[in-house]
Amino acid sequence: MKQPTEIKKPEGKLGVLLPGMGAVATTFIAGCMLARRGLAPPTGSLTQMARIRLGKRTEGREPMIKDFVPLSTLDDLVFGGWDLFPDNAYQAARNAEVLSEAHLKLIEDELSAVEPMPAVFFPEFVKRLRGENIKPQQNKMELAEAVRQDVRDFKQKHGLDRCVAVWCGSTEVHHEPTAVHASLEAFERGLRESDPNISPSMVYAYALMKEGVGYANGAPNLTTDIPALLELSREMGTPISGKDFKTGQTLMKTILAPGLKSRMLGIRGWFSTNILGNRDGEVLDDPDSFRSKEVSKLGVLETVLQPERYPDLYGDIYHKVRIEYYPPRGDQKEGWDNIDLSGWLGYEMQIKIDFLCRDSILAAPIVLDLVLFMDLAQRAGFSGIQEWLSFYYKSPMTAPDLYPENDLFIQLIKLKNMLRWMKGEELITHVGHEYYD
Ligand SMILES: NC(=O)c1ccc[n+]([C@@H]2O[C@H](COP(=O)([O-])OP(=O)(O)OC[C@H]3O[C@@H](n4cnc5c(N)ncnc54)[C@H](O)[C@@H]3O)[C@@H](O)[C@H]2O)c1
């Protein structure tokens, strides 16, 4: 990755393409429409609300991030996407029951105009869903070509030069990389032969990148975590990032675990359970889809606590994560954590968390930030894995052989230093010796 000498200006409109237009996607789209009319605040979004310190603490320079790096504005965003259900974004948002009727009514016309394009869907990858808004092609390369045509049509219809894609579709079943994923050549052959190991999300990611569109992966799907698509991202000069939005319980975990570890407090057990009743919960009720989520959720503590380096404190940790589908709760998830920890002389303590959260309300600002930062990365000439966006993910993508950084605070320092580096500003190390010289 080269330090950019110049970042292209965010001129014109920016297309936002969302494979999957359910609760998260529609909460994001509706939220942008409300926020740009000044009808509700974009709370939770760094690109809209956060400042960044520049230079010494004595300089008093702390601009808004959006004024420091060249980002598209909310007014510039044009929304599109795919779903296997034909509902437009207004109907889908009403079904998701995240936002109030009163909020949705304010933007009904604008939201209703966002209609999903027919999806690429293979039921064996998401077993709990069946829909009719599906592309008719059988061959996987033909499906990829159809998605490419969708992207070109969308750009032409809205007069767009640039697009960014964020996967907001369901969690696919857990699967491991195979020979067909090992190189771009093998993958393209696999597409032509409709290899069963190529998932719908891989077809989208391939097609989008072939059209020069960066791809962010909001689910724990394997998708771009394979050599073939990493190769394509470099070849096409498109950024990729992932995976699995960091919201709810895992967000709490990556806030709390680094704090406990930084004080060298021991942890013997961490039990996490959730109830949720939205469509995501229904999909995750299938053990194969849950397995993808479980892998992504379990990895977090391991890399934060480093049990191999701190065996006395974390060597025997028992970490368990459960998700229970419970329809009455809808999107209003409840997550419980029980943490058994130990302090001075090994004396035991407990922490209990009961987080009454709203899943999509936490995910929507992440989608917005990823859209704007991925577009920034594209204009700065970055391709391949964007590790500086780890802040937003449960299971950050990294270069092969590199362990991911899961500590939320290190991830934030990394993100902000990356923005400073892009703009040729001094990096902030927090040493601060100069104040005392
Ligand atoms: N809400 C959160 O806090 C959160 C956090 C992390 C990850 N996620 C992930 O984000 C994704 C979206 O979550 P959600 O709550 O909006 O789920 P949702 O079920 O409401 O929406 C997902 C949509 O994707 C569609 N879909 C599935 N496969 C598709 C395909 N091949 N092509 C096009 N559309 C397809 C479904 O029909 C559905 O409308 C899920 O994978 C979820 O695990 C959500």
pLDDT per residue rounded down to tens, the chain (437 residues): 889 989 999 999 999 999 999 999 999 999 999 999 999 999 999 999 999 999 999 999 999 999 999 999 999 999 999 999 999 999 999 999 999 999 999 999 999 999 999 999 999 999 888 899 999 999 999 999 999 999 999 999 999 999 999 999 999 999 999 999 999 999 999 999 999 999 999 999 999 999 999 999 999 999 999 999 999 999 999 999 999 999 989 999 999 999 999 999 999 999 999 998 888 888 888 888 888 878 877 888 988 999 999 999 999 999 999 989 999 988 888 999 999 999 999 999 999 999 999 989 999 999 999 999 999 999 999 999 999 999 999 999 999 889 999 999 999 999 999 999 999 999 998 888 888 98
Task: Give the CATH superfamily of 14-245+361-422.
Answer: NAD(P)-binding Rossmann-like Domain (3.40.50.720)
Taking the CA of residue 27 as reference, the ligand 1 atom at the shortest distance is: 16
What is the distance in A from the centroid of ligand 1 to the CA of 313? Answer: 37
Q: Could you tell me the fold of the domain covering 248-356?
A: Dihydrodipicolinate Reductase; domain 2 (3.30.360)
Round to whole Å and give the CA distance between 176 and 158: 38
Q: Which of 280, 358, 395 to mutate to test the pocket of ligand 1 (most atoms within 8 A of CB)?
A: 280
Q: Is 272 in the pocket of ligand 1 (CB under 6 A)?
A: no
Q: Is 90 in the pocket of ligand 1 (CB under 6 A)?
A: no
Q: Is 363 in the pocket of ligand 1 (CB under 6 A)?
A: yes
Omega before 155 within 30 of 0, i.e. cis: no
Q: Is 168 in the pocket of ligand 1 (CB under 6 A)?
A: yes
What is the distance in A from the centroid of ligand 1 to the CA of 218? Answer: 8
Round to whole Å and give the CA distance between 138 and 53: 53
Q: Which of 122, 137, 168, 223 to mutate to test the pocket of ligand 1 (most atoms within 8 A of CB)?
A: 168
Q: Is 15 in the pocket of ligand 1 (CB under 6 A)?
A: no
* Domain spans in the chain, listed from the N-terminal domain onward: 14-245+361-422, 248-356
Q: Is 218 in the pocket of ligand 1 (CB under 6 A)?
A: yes
Q: Is 22 in the pocket of ligand 1 (CB under 6 A)?
A: yes
Tokens of 21: 């237009």
β-pair type (117-118, 239-242):
unpaired
What is the distance in A from the centroid of ligand 1 to the CA of 123? Answer: 14
CA torsion sign, 204 to 210 to 216 to 217?
positive
Q: Is 169 in the pocket of ligand 1 (CB under 6 A)?
A: yes
Distance of CA 396 to the CA centre of its chain: 9
Q: What are phi and psi of 51, to 5 degrees?
A: -105, 165
- pLDDT tens for residues 159-190? 999 999 999 999 999 999 999 999 999 999 99
Q: Is 359 in the pocket of ligand 1 (CB under 6 A)?
A: yes
Question: Which stretches of 202-260 are assigned E, i.e. beta strand?
Answer: 214-217, 239-242
What is the distance in A from the centroid of ligand 1 to the CA of 179? Answer: 27
